[in-house]
Amino acid sequence: MKLVDTHHDRWHEVTADDSTVAVPAAEPWRILTVAQWQSVRGSWPAEMPVGLVVDNDVDIESAADDLPRFALVALRFPKWTDGRAYSQARLLRVRFRFAGEVRATGDVVADMVPLLARTGFDAALLRADQSPATAQRALGFFTQGHYQGDVIEPKPHFARAAP
């Protein structure tokens, strides 16, 4: 799993007052809200990368038809205790076979990183007070794997072939 460094990230989330919601000419690496995407989807060039940010109360199925157009889907955690974005990530990977980057944003803490990886996230933008070193360490807690299946290894431990 990649931990996003905002100083070196090519993606830029478009704000509500940003005048670049329209198709940008020079800097295509934009992350749009669902509403912003709906306003420009007909004019956005197919070859120009675009990302979508989705709040955790949005039905991810509403974006299913446009998923092939997105290079990135950023899922928001408004609070670290609200896990609906985990379900959205799993749906993106398992049901919709989304192959682009799935990024966790919002109130993301280091302790969440192992479960983020298991549910289909590729990247996480940690909350400002969180340590990337701690998050990387958390990824190594279960080196022998997990008993339950997940997005990475769908079979439970008992159904896997013995080494």
Considering only 2-6, 26-30, 131-135, which range has the smallest mean pLDDT?
26-30
CA atoms within 13 A on the CB side of 24: 20
In this prediction, what percent of the chain has a pLDDT beyond 70? 83
DSSP 1-34: -EEP-TTS---EEPPTT-GGGSPPSS---EEEEH
The predicted pLDDT at position 79 comes to 92
The predicted pLDDT at position 86 comes to 94
| pLDDT, mean of residues 24-36 | 77
Query: pLDDT tens for residues 48-93?
Result: 889 999 999 999 999 999 999 999 999 999 998 899 999 999 999 9
Query: What CA–CA distance (Å, rounded) separates 89 from 103?
Result: 9
Query: pLDDT tens for residues 113-159?
Result: 998 998 999 999 999 999 999 999 988 776 666 556 677 777 766 67
Neighbouring residues of 2: CB distance < 8 A, sequence distance ≥ 6:
122, 123, 124
Q: Which two tokens stand for residue 87?
A: 């379900």
State the alpha helices, DSSP H only, in 20-141.
34-40, 84-90, 113-119, 132-139
Identify how many contiguous H helices and E strands the chain contains and give both numbers: 4, 7
Question: Is pLDDT of 110 > 80?
Answer: yes
Q: Which residues pair with 76 in a beta bridge?
A: 105
The predicted pLDDT at position 159 comes to 75
Q: Which residues pair with 52 in a beta bridge?
A: 32, 73
The predicted pLDDT at position 111 comes to 92
The SS3 call for residue 51 is strand
Cβ pair 112, 124 in contact under 8 A: yes
Confidence label for 21 from pLDDT (cuts 50, 70 and 90): low
Helix (H) or strand (E) holding 102: strand 101-106
